[in-house]
Chains A and B, each alone.
Chain A
């Protein structure tokens, strides 16, 4: 029986208790029976079976004549509607406090039956009963003062006090004085009717009260509240709420809107445009063309989009039809020019924004040219066509309208860089700088492009301007140092050694990077050229001292002596270079060699013997795979090999990085980028690319927040765009492959590939 009670199987508990008591009517068993009876009665009452609860209690009256027990029985009977029975028991209870408790419940039930309940109350309470009922009538009619007057007749000791508090709170509620309502209702007894009557009303505005209720109770209160606010208008809005998000049910939502609008315009006109917005966006996301007609008919033409051209454009974008969207954006742009909805002084800006948006759309359409089809979709050509006007025209139109729109310049620059139209990118960056002379990105870009064009003095000027804006940015400082270094070289080659020395000194002073040995080597070569061997040797010693790899320093010196045409020294360094290459490779040397070679390639430096050196470095790196590497060294090598376009070897090191440093997202990102490099070949493995990217994203999210994490996240996003371009259906297959985790160590079929990674 105890177990049944503990598990709330009150019916079974009661039967067991009855059996037990029948077999042995001991005091202990009687107590059990009383407990089971009360538990069963409470259980029935909680579930709404108040009459049954009362019956259970009536059958148990004979069990005990203790006042507490009788009070429980009487209370239960009153709650079950048996007021006469409850009243009879009430009169038998000697304890005044228990009597008061029972009378409170009798009073509640009596009020529920209104005039029919009055007869069950003692005569002394009839007057207060009448006052309470009258107060309710006054409140319902809006006669709040009259109600308050009636309530003044109810004293602090009265069983009707709860009802007085309830009514005072109710007056506050109807007058939107929520604080007053809460103040009164928070004093109510949760076991009595006034508390329960207040609950669904309080639920609507008292957040703390609502959240403190168990979930089941919240659901019940919500349902009661819904019935409370069940006007026609609410019903229609709820129909819209249920149907508007479903494509098939949108017509039904429109019908409900049509029914709701007259009343909504009357009661809350400010909500009409908001409802219109809900439908506007519903059409965009999942509407059909007929819905536009419905929209116009019900809500009229939107003021700022009377032809619904913008709606069409947005809807087409959602459906991936950018070509048609492009047409509608142009239509919308023209409508803005002649529209009164937009302030005159803003029209040009709005039109510029539309053109820039079109430019972005056009820019995002990939160009496939005459290359092989994507191996994933042979032989279908499902690729979107380029948009006309194209991105350049769109961005230029935007700039014609608003010449100082920074974001448009930036977008146009990015477009040109993507297309490798570097001259145009530079020209656009210079235009941006006319309006925003301190824009650091533009200054750096012009500097970078000047470096590419070997205009080192000009590059230095732009980098220094960028540094004046961001003096502590290590990347900019590195670029300034580089530019000094390259400028110095140019001066040295022209025989201006003193100026060159000043530039090298400036480069060293500014450069915050750990390794300055490349600058020492360049300067040393310059001093050799100038004939100051002692100074050159001093600088060389500094380079050796700084770098833990002699081979790296020797290689740098070899390059510089070739470029300066210092033939004797060249032979000396060349011999030493070849000798050191024959020694067992180390991680530090391998990464330094790869980095130096890649930096020269990236800087566009060409010198005699460069290809031979790159071949030798390639062989060295092939040997070095067995060496010990730090995480940074492996990253440097992977990055350098990408620049040197040694993709096979790069892939070997990428796999090594994944194995040795499995928590570093860089190596998985590199894997994806490596796969993209093969995207024009049959051997592009889209699945591996996707999975590697997924892994990179997962690992990157676990990194501490900072520049590195943000930079990798940005690259991951760009790669995801590429995947989408290569295979528009890639997301369809992600579910299929979810159960196949990425195994970085899986055997991959190796094919003979050339240096470019192509078959």
Chain B
């Protein structure tokens, strides 16, 4: 699981009520019968943050543990403005390297 705050799209200083409200919102949007994987991810994120004790435990012992370079690369690819290519460059992609 990546950063639970990122999964729930919340700031790190969110309180119990905010977290719970957001969790319920997301669970309605991604119910288990329609999106089992996303639901499971949201649930795990919520379990890590649902009260102060679990949030602090997560920060002390788990923060960043599930981070991966794959996820970083994916995000970078998504966030980087898409490079504009010429027609020649577009065709060149299909040439064998």
Is the C-beta of B11 less than 8 angstroms from some C-beta in chain A? no
From A349-357, A384-392, A654-662, the one touching the partner chain is A349-357
CA distance A141 to B86 in the complex (A): 9
Assuming the contacts A48-B96, A200-B93, A278-B67, asked whether A140 and B57 have C-beta atoms less than 8 A apart, the reply is no
Contact (Cβ within 8 A) B87 A114: yes
CA distance A281 to B61 in the complex (A): 11
From B16-24, B32-40, B68-76, the one touching the partner chain is B68-76
CA distance A268 to B72 in the complex (A): 10
Would you call the interface of chain A mostly helix, strand, loop, or mixed?
Answer: helix
Would you call the interface of chain B mostly helix, strand, loop, or mixed?
Answer: helix
Residues in B whose Cβ lies below 8 Å from that of A133: 87
Closest chain B CB from A220 CB (angstroms): 9
Please, what's the 1-or-0 string for A404-416, where 1 marks a CB less than 8 Å from any CB in chain B? 0101000000000
Considering only CB atoms, which chain A residue lies closest to B86 in the complex?
Answer: A140
Contact (Cβ within 8 A) A271 B94: no
Q: Which of B52-88 contact A (CB under 8 A)?
A: 52-53, 56-57, 59-61, 63-65, 67-73, 75-80, 82-88
Assuming the contacts A133-B87, A237-B72, asked whether A277 and B63 have C-beta atoms less than 8 A apart, the reply is yes
Residues in A whose Cβ lies below 8 Å from that of B86: 136-137, 140
Contact (Cβ within 8 A) B69 A237: yes
Contact (Cβ within 8 A) A354 B60: yes
Q: Interface range on chain A: under 10, 10 to 19, 20 to 34, or 35 or more?
A: 35 or more
Contact (Cβ within 8 A) B94 A268: no
Is the C-beta of A219 less than 8 angstroms from some C-beta in chain B? no
Closest chain B CB from A414 CB (angstroms): 18
Residues in A whose Cβ lies below 8 Å from that of B72: 237, 271, 274-275, 278
CA distance A111 to B70 in the complex (A): 37
Residue among B60, B78, B84, B91 with the highest chain A CB neighbour number at 10 A: B60
Residue count of chain B within 8 Å CB distance of chain A: 37
CA distance A12 to B65 in the complex (A): 57
Closest chain B CB from A95 CB (angstroms): 30
Closest chain A CB from B60 CB (angstroms): 6
From A67-75, A227-235, A508-516, the one touching the partner chain is A227-235
CA distance A693 to B52 in the complex (A): 38
Q: Which residue of the partner chain, among B59, B68, B75, B76, contacts A233 with CB atoms under 8 Å?
A: B76
Q: Which of A189-225 contact B (CB under 8 A)?
A: 196-197, 200-201, 204-205, 223-224
Contact (Cβ within 8 A) B93 A281: no
Assuming the contacts A140-B84, A241-B73, asked whether A280 and B64 have C-beta atoms less than 8 A apart, the reply is yes
Residue among B3, B53, B88 with the highest chain A CB neighbour number at 10 A: B53
Residues in B whose Cβ lies below 8 Å from that of A346: 52, 56
Assuming the contacts A140-B85, A196-B94, asked whether A275 and B69 have C-beta atoms less than 8 A apart, the reply is yes
Contact (Cβ within 8 A) A349 B52: yes
Contact (Cβ within 8 A) A267 B94: no
CA distance A276 to B67 in the complex (A): 9
Contact (Cβ within 8 A) A281 B67: yes
- 10 new A-B contacts at CB < 8 Å, known A142-B84, A234-B77, A268-B76: A48-B96, A111-B87, A133-B87, A197-B91, A200-B93, A227-B93, A237-B73, A277-B63, A281-B64, A353-B53
> What are 6 A-B interface contacts by the 8 Å CB criterion?
A112-B91, A140-B85, A268-B76, A278-B67, A346-B56, A405-B53
